[in-house]
């Protein structure tokens, strides 16, 4: 199984006290290298402007790619732009594009992208929530526009709602967006009554919810909707910040919950999409939880 990553993703530096720090990615890649010999590590390419423009405005690209940066700049209270940030964001989005190509025409069935910064809060026209480009949205748009798919599913189990991904696709019936997340919590979106054009399914969970309500939300609501959509490809926003150790939220998941859900998602991909699945790292801010959860997730992706 391919894993896309790039050293440039370590050079995006939001600052010494920022939760979205380079050590997050090192924790994931070190844990995966130690746990699995079967992974084939691939260098993430840069996304092109044309690929980014499928989901982002010219003004957002200009902000991230063309702003002269000698020291760190705060684009909003949470989202920083430093000297290495544009290259990291290009590689993160490019990993998603490469993963789609690898799965659809490159002979890979499942792919994981170990990249940062995360992406699912970035809207078509605004950076936010640590996110510069919405890498999973770039990947989904590539699957639709370049490869002609008409049913692409984006599954998001990050503890924060992927407001950017939902906003980008909520009027595009080719892409279904399904999310479990804590609410109330940043960005205060993702209510159960948000449906897009019938292509959005949200399952908000209250603070303190653990394995049982998480699994029930997927088993009773999200997975049946995904199954009924019959996706031709499955994309995963793999955030591990719903883990009980995470400092930015209050859900109580364990690594085994991610293994369980990933196994369920693989089964749906096998049933409807010839197994075609690509997953991208999103949030997760406790390093030990990141190690355990990424190994659980990728282990389930590797299962026959």
pLDDT tens-digit map of 64-118? 999 999 999 999 999 999 999 999 999 999 999 999 999 999 999 999 999 999 9
**116: nearest Cα among 242, 255, 8, 2:** 8
- How does pLDDT run across 18-35, given as a tens digit for each residue? 999 999 999 999 999 999
Question: Which tens digits make up the pLDDT trace of 246-292?
Answer: 999 999 999 999 999 999 999 999 999 999 999 999 999 999 999 99
Helices 85-104 and 58-66 pack at an angle, to 10 degrees, of 120
**Whose CA is closest to 22, among 6, 10, 34?**
10
Q: How many CB atoms lie within 10 A of CB 86?
A: 22
CA angle 72, 74, 80 (to 5 degrees): 70
Averaged confidence pLDDT in the chain: 98
**Percentage of the chain with pLDDT > 90?**
100
Q: b vs e for 237-267, b when ≥16 Cβ sit within 10 Å of the residue's Cβ?
A: bbbbbbbbbbebbbbbbbbebbbbbbebbbe
pLDDT exceeds cutoff 90 at 304: no
Alpha helices in 148-222 (DSSP H): 163-169, 211-217
Q: Which fold has domain 2-302?
A: 3.40.800
Hey, what are 141's tokens? 């748009």
pLDDT band at 145 (very low <50, low <70, confident <90, very high): very high
pLDDT of the residue at 40: 98
Structural domain boundaries of the chain? 2-302
pTM: 0.98
Closest CA to 216 of 229, 227, 205, 231: 205
Is 121 designated active site?
yes
Would you give the distance in Å from CA 176 to the centre of its chain?
14
Give me the catalytic one of 6, 120, 121, 161.
121
User: Rounded to a whole number, what is the distance in angstroms from the first to the last CA of the chain?
Assistant: 11
């Amino acid at each position: 199984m391919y894993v896309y990553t790039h050293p440039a993703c370590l050079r995006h530096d939001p600052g010494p006290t920022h939760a979205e720090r380079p050590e997050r990615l090192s924790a994931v890649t070190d844990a995966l290298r130690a746990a699995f010999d079967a992974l084939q590590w691939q260098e993430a390419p840069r996304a092109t402007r044309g690929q980014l423009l499928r989901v982002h405005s010219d003004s957002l690209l200009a902000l991230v790619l063309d702003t002269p940066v000698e020291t760190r700049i705060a684009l909003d209270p949470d989202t920083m732009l430093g000297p290495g940030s544009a290259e990291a964001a290009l590689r993160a989005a490019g990993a998603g594009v490469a993963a789609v190509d690898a799965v659809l025409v490159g002979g890979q069935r499942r792919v994981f992208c170990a990249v940062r910064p995360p992406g699912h809060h970035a809207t078509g026209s605004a950076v936010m929530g640590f996110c510069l480009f919405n890498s999973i949205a770039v990947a989904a748009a590539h699957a639709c526009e370049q490869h002609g798919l008409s049913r692409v599913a984006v599954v998001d189990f990050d503890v924060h709602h992927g407001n950017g991904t939902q906003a980008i696709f909520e009027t595009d019936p080719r892409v279904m967006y399904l999310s479990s997340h804590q609410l109330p919590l940043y960005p205060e979106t993702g209510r159960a009554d948000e449906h897009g054009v019938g292509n959005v399914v949200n399952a908000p969970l209250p603070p303190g919810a653990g394995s049982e309500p998480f699994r029930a939300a997927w088993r009773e609501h999200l997975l049946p909707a995904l199954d009924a959509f019959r996706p031709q490809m499955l994309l995963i926003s793999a955030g591990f910040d719903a883990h009980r150790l995470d400092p930015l939220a209050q859900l109580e998941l364990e690594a085994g919950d991610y293994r369980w859900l990933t196994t369920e998602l693989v089964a749906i991909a096998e049933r409807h999409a010839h197994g075609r699945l690509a997953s991208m790292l999103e949030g997760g801010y406790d390093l030990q939880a990141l190690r355990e959860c990424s190994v659980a997730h990728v282990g389930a992706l590797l299962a026959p």
